[in-house]
Amino acid sequence: MTNNNIGELHEGNCLIVNYVLSTGQKGTLPLNKEQCKYFLDCIDQNKTMILQVGDEIRTLNPQHVAFTYVKGMKENDIVIKTHEAIEDKTVEAIQKTDPAEELSKAYNKPKELFRVECKCGETYEKELPFYTQKNSCEKCGQMVFVDRKRGKQPSGTEFVWIMTNRYYVEREFSIYKTT
């Protein structure tokens, strides 16, 4: 962390850096080109920056910066290169994750066997994600709810959760309760 007080601010060489923190709070810094480059380098390298703006010393943690915008930039300024470097790193990070693998993980969540018992008389077994709390009957479309208080019930060679609308099921019961 170094103090970066490079050059004096004059009307002609002042750039306005607007930033938004992850909390939603907005800030503005009037910086010269060197300070602006330092600001963006610190964000790129994830280093806390210390800037002297006029008679004030300001510090900013780049981990909390969600968005930056530099007003007064020209296309050929050095800051464009910094943004390109950030974009390249983002593209590399995105390419490291395989979309097919992510999709496979999403669909391969732990599943449980449920027996649906509906008022319409329909009874069948269905495999659903273990955290399922409600579903609809395939025959009539009415909502059926998981009876977690009853626990798993035997069904042939396996144990199943019961989903029903034949009687009132307490919906506030959580499978994650520790008490």
| Domain ranges, ordered by start, for the chain | 3-96, 107-164
Residue 13 has a pLDDT of 66
End-to-end CA distance of the chain: 49
Mean pLDDT of the chain: 75
The C-alpha atoms of residue 147 and residue 39 are separated, in whole angstroms, by 57
8: left (phi over 0), alpha (psi -120 to 50) or beta: beta
Quick one: pLDDT at residue 73?
65
pTM: 0.39
Let me know if 141 is exposed, middle or buried by CB neighbors in 10 A (0-12, 13-18, 19+). exposed
Which of these, 70, 72, 23, 67, lies nearest to 43 by C-alpha position? 67
- pLDDT confidence of residue 163: 94
Taking residues 93-116, what's their average pLDDT? 72
Q: What is the pLDDT of residues 129-148, one digit of tens each?
A: 888 889 999 999 999 999 98
